Structure 1
Amino acid sequence: MERVGKSDISVIMLTYNREKFVERAIKSILVQTFKDIEFIIVNNGSTDRSGMIADEYAQKDSRIRVFHRERGNIGSGRNMGLDMATGDYIAFVDDDDWAAPDFLEFLYKLATENIADVAICGAVDKAFDEKLVMMPEEALIELMWRKHYNMAFPTKLFTRVLGEKIRFPEEDKYDDISQMHRLLAHANRIAYHGLPKYAFYRHENNNSAWTTNHGLLTSDTLREYIRVYRQRTQWLCERFPKNAAIWRYFECSFMISMVEKIKRLGLNNCEEQYNTMVRELSEKREEFMACSWIFDFEKKWMEQYVSI
Structure 2
Amino acid sequence: MVSVIMLTYNREKYIARSIEAILAQTYRQFEFVIVDNGSSDQSGTIADEYALKDSRIKVLHIEKSSIGHGRNIGIANATGEYIAFVDDDDVAAPDMLEFLDRLVQENHADIAICGAQKDVNGKILPHSMWDEYCIWSAEDAVTELLKRKRNNAGLPTKLIRRELFEQIPFKEDCKYEDIWICYKYMANANKVAAYGLPKYCFTRHESNNSSFTQNAGLWKAEQMREYLAAFCERTEYISAKLPELTGLVQYSEWSYMISMCDKIKTYDLKDCQGIFIELVRELRLKQEEFLMSPYIQNFEKKWMNKYVLQEG
Q: Same fold (TM over 0.5)?
A: yes
Q: TM-score range by the shorter chain?
A: over 0.9
Q: Tell me the SS of whatever aligns to 2:142.
A: helix
Corresponding residue for residue 239 of structure 1: 241
One-letter amino acid of the structure 1 residue matched with residue 238 of structure 2:
L
Structure 1: 5+ residue runs without aligned partners? 1-7
In structure 2, how many angstroms separate the alpha carbons of the residues matched to 1:236 and 1:198? 28
Corresponding residue for residue 3 of structure 1: none
State the 1:242 CA deviation: 2.2
In structure 2, how many angstroms separate the alpha carbons of the residues matched to 1:88 and 1:204? 35
Corresponding residue for residue 229 of structure 1: 231
Would you say how many aligned residue pairs link Structure 1 and Structure 2? Answer: 301
Structure 1 stretch displaced more, 234-243 or 83-92 = 234-243
- 1:112 pairs with one of 72, 97, 105: 105
1:39 matched to 2:32? The reply is yes
State the 1:131 CA deviation: 1.4
TM-score (norm. length: structure 2): 0.95
State the 1:298 CA deviation: 0.4
State the 1:138 CA deviation: 1.0
One-letter amino acid of the structure 1 residue matched with residue 200 of structure 2:
Y
Corresponding residue for residue 177 of structure 2: 175
Q: Tell me the SS of whatever aligns to 2:98.
A: helix
State the 1:275 CA deviation: 1.2
Corresponding residue for residue 67 of structure 2: 74
Corresponding residue for residue 13 of structure 2: 20
State the 1:34 CA deviation: 0.2
1:256 matched to 2:249? The reply is no
State the 1:162 CA deviation: 2.1
Q: Deviations over 1:151-197 (max 9, x none)?
A: 00000001112221110011011110100011011111001000000
Kindly indicate whether the alpha-carbon contact (under 8 Å) linking 2:47 and 2:59 is maintained by their aligned counterparts in 1: yes
TM-score (norm. length: structure 1): 0.96
Q: Tell me the SS of whatever aligns to 1:205.
A: coil
Task: Please identify runs of 4+ aligned residues in structure 1 that moved more than 2 A.
Answer: none
Corresponding residue for residue 92 of structure 2: 99
State the 1:14 CA deviation: 0.3
Structure 1 stretch displaced more, 29-38 or 219-228 = 219-228
State the 1:149 CA deviation: 2.3
Give aligned-pair identity as a percent: 51
Structure 2: 5+ residue runs without aligned partners? 118-126
- 1:53 pairs with one of 46, 63, 87: 46
- 1:205 pairs with one of 204, 207, 216: 207
Q: CA RMSD in A?
A: 0.8
Q: Deviations over 1:101-120 (max 9, x none)?
A: 00000000011111110000
In structure 1, how many angstroms separate the alpha carbons of the residues matched to 2:171 and 2:245? 25
